[in-house]
């Protein structure tokens, strides 16, 4: 191929020789696509039509190296994080990659929080986590990539900054970066829905430019795969169950000590010590919550993991691994957020043992409801 053609889904350069590399498209499909005028690489085509994902030989280093290009440009950075996976979605080394470029944090998927959520407290909590991780953004903006009317504040910043520089959108996979870019493309007059969105990490492969004015553009960067996300313990179908996708309905249990709640097969909460307490869970409506006696919990888990307690699904129980316990003191009206899954809150001081997959982050905060 002489001319470089980009996939309209992920931005990778289309090529017809390396099946396992980014941008692959069989020669015949390339010809057909050229006639039609829109070209998706095979990977994006499959993702769009069959929601099927092919793993690619691309390392995190390649992704991260692409980010360091930002440091050399006149740039402003919008770092997207997921309200349900703050720990898992913030980019710890951001200042290292972007140098001294100014940045803001856009907190996505706020539409899924219950209506009674105190957004000031959410923002306060997020600022605390950012600070704990050495991140000092110019601003923190809450919104929803999929809801245009929540994006006004973000667009104001983008329009102001793009007078002087390019606006780079960065984020780990699954934070909703493609959804946001698609929305910005639609808003700034481009073709609608040109970027692939999916439930699977690793959708966006290469940089895509969305011109905002004559000189500067919004630039989409590759999604960085983050290994501590709960999503990486699960396959696409399992992830669909776990990730909240509709407005959350809280579920409350009145518990006595020595009772246990399972959150599917992903997490287990043993109520160790305290007075009778109400535990309120905010997780995907598709997750099954099961109460049992703590003394029976091990046996119950062994008997029902992969079936009643899922995800993981039965065929993935072995690869999912085991849950690791951690003893935690929670105060009345504190939440404990489990990255990628949601959170729960208690109305009394309690001691619990929380069992979650290794590497999944947790954070304790003042209750946001
Ligand atoms: P990317 O990997 O960062 O590009 O993420 P995607 O844009 O593919 O989004 C990942 C998943 O989150 C998809 O299922 C989206 O529909 C969903 N999603 C993205 N943004 C929002 C949002 O603001 N609200 C809700 N409810 N879902 C969102």
Domain C-terminal end among 178, 199, 226: 226
Q: pLDDT at residue 149 above 50? A: yes
8 A C-beta contact, residue 258 and residue 271: yes
Residue 237 within any structural domain of the chain: no
User: Which of 176, 192, 226 is at the close of a domain?
Assistant: 226
Is 130 domain-assigned? yes
Q: Is the pLDDT of residue 319 over 90?
A: no
| pLDDT at position 7 | 80
Query: Mean pLDDT score of the chain, rounded to an integer?
Result: 86
In the reported structure, the alpha carbon of residue 201 is separated from the centroid of ligand 1 by a whole-number distance in angstroms of: 11
| 312-323: average pLDDT | 92
Cα–Cα distance measured from residue 119 to residue 201, given in angstroms and rounded to the nearest whole number: 27
Q: Are residues 50 and 69 in the same domain?
A: no
Is residue 85 included in any domain, yes or no?
yes
Shared-domain flag, residues 93 and 1 = no
205 and 255 co-located in one domain: no
Residue 249 token pair: 């309905």
Q: Indicate which residue's Cα is closest to atom 18 of ligand 1.
A: 176
Query: Residue 183 corresponds to which tokens in the numbers above?
Result: 């929305």
Residues 305 and 289 in one domain: yes
- Ligand 1 atom with the shortest distance to the CA of 171: 3
Which atom of ligand 1 is the closest one to the Cα of 246?
26
Would residue 340 count as lying in a domain? Answer: yes
Q: What confidence tens digit (pLDDT) does each residue in 48-79 have? A: 665 444 444 445 566 666 677 788 889 999 99
Among 191, 226, 261, the domain-final residue is 226
Instruction: Compute CA 101 distance to the chain's CA centroid, rounded to the nearest angstrom.
Output: 24
Residues 261, 332, single domain; the answer is: yes
Report the range out of 63-72, 237-246, 308-317 with the highest average pLDDT. Answer: 308-317
Q: How far is the CA of 241 from the centre of ligand 1 (A)?
A: 14
pLDDT greater than 60 at residue 222: yes
- Pocket of ligand 1 from Cβ distances under 6 Å: 108-109, 111-112, 144-146, 171, 173-179, 197-199, 203-204, 223, 245
Report the range of poorest mean pLDDT among 17-21, 25-29, 233-237: 233-237
CA of 271 to the centre of ligand 1 (A): 34
Q: Whose CA is nearest to atom 9 of ligand 1?
A: 176
pLDDT band at 254 (very low <50, low <70, confident <90, very high): very high
Identify whether 319 is part of a domain. Answer: yes
Q: What is the 3-state secondary structure (H, E, C) of 255-285?
A: ECCCEEEEECCCEEEEEEECCCEEEEEEECC
pLDDT value at position 13?
A: 86
Which protein residue's CA is at the shortest distance from atom 17 of ligand 1? 176
Do the beta carbons of residue 248 and residue 112 sit within 8 Å?
yes
Q: What total of structural domains would you count in the chain?
A: 3
> In this predicted structure, what is the pLDDT of residue 62?
60
122 and 19 inside one domain: no
Each as own residue / partner, the long-range contacts of residues 182-186 (CB below 8 Å, 24 or more positions apart, any chain) are 183/145, 183/146, 183/148, 183/151, 184/155, 184/158, 184/210, 184/218, 185/210
Residues 12 and 69 reside in one and the same domain:
no
Ligand 1 atom closest to the CA of 108, numbered from 1: 23
| Ligand 1 probe mutation, 179, 201, 285, most atoms within 8 A of CB | 179
Tens of pLDDT along 85-142?
Answer: 888 788 878 888 888 999 999 999 999 999 999 999 999 999 999 999 899 999 999 9
pLDDT of residue 225: 62
Kindly give the distance from the C-alpha atom of residue 175 to the centroid of ligand 1, in angstroms, as a whole number: 6
Average pLDDT on 279-301 reads 97
pLDDT for the residue 1: 42
**Residues 210, 95: one domain?**
yes
Bridge partner list, 339: none
Q: What is the pLDDT of residues 328-353, one digit of tens each?
A: 999 999 999 998 899 999 999 999 99
Specify if 302 maps to a domain: yes
Shared domain check, 362 and 249? yes
Q: What is the pLDDT of residue 206?
A: 55
194 and 328 fall within a common domain: no
Q: What is the mean pLDDT of residues 170-194?
A: 77
Range of the domain at 320: 242-366
Sign of the C-alpha dihedral computed for residues 83, 87, 91 and 96 taken in this order: positive
Residues 218 and 260 grouped into a single domain: no
Q: Do 207 and 62 contact (CB within 8 A), yes or no?
A: no
Span 208-230, average pLDDT: 74
Share of the chain above pLDDT 70, in %: 85
Task: Give, using CA atoms, the residue closest to atom 20 of ligand 1.
Answer: 176
Residues 73 and 214 in one domain: yes
- β-strands 217-220, 166-170: how paired? parallel
For residue 11, what pLDDT band results from cuts at 50, 70 and 90?
Answer: confident
Domain membership flag for residue 236: no
For ligand 1, the distance from its centroid to the CA atom of residue 226, given in whole angstroms, is 16
212 in any annotated domain: yes
pLDDT(2) > 50:
no
If pLDDT is split at 50, 70 and 90, which confidence band does 197 have? low
Ligand 1 centroid, distance to 177 Cα (angstroms): 7
């Amino acid at each position: 191929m002489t001319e470089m053609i980009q996939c309209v889904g992920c931005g990778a350069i289309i090529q017809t020789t390396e099946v396992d590399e980014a941008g692959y498209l069989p020669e015949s499909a390339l010809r057909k696509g050229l006639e039609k005028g829109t070209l998706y690489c095979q990977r994006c085509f499959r993702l769009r039509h069959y929601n099927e994902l092919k793993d690619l030989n691309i390392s995190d280093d390649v992704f991260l190296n692409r980010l360091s290009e930002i440091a050399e440009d006149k740039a402003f950075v919008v770092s997207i994080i997921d309200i349900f996976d703050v720990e898992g979605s913030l980019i710890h080394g951001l200042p290292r990659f972007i140098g001294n470029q100014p940045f803001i944090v856009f907190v996505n998927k706020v539409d899924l929080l219950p209506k009674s959520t105190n957004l000031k407290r959410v923002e306060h909590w997020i600022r605390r986590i950012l600070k704990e991780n050495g991140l000092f953004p110019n601003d923190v903006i809450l919104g929803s990539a999929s809801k245009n009317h929540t994006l006004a504040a973000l667009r104001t910043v983008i329009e102001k900054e793009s007078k002087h520089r390019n606006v780079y959108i960065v984020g780990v996979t699954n934070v909703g970066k493609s959804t946001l870019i698609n929305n910005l493309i639609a808003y700034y007059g481009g073709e609608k829905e040109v970027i692939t969105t999916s439930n699977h990490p690793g959708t966006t492969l290469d940089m895509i430019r969305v011109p905002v004015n004559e000189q500067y553009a919004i630039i989409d960067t590759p999604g960085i795969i983050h290994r501590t996300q709960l999503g990486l313990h699960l396959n696409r179908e399992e992830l669909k169950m776990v990730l909240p996708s509709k407005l959350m309905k809280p579920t409350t249990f009145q518990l006595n000590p020595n009772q246990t709640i399972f959150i599917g097969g992903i997490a287990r909460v043993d109520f160790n010590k305290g007075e009778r307490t109400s535990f309120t869970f905010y997780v995907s409506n598709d997750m099954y919550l099961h109460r049992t006696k703590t003394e029976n919990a091990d046996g119950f888990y062994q008997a029902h993991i992969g079936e009643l307690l899922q995800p993981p699904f039965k065929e993935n129980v072995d690869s999912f691994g085991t849950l690791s316990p951690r003893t935690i003191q929670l105060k009345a009206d504190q939440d404990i957020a489990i990255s990628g899954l949601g959170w729960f809150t208690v109305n009394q001081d309690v001691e619990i043992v929380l069992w979650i997959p290794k590497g999944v982050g947790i954070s304790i905060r003042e209750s946001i409801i």
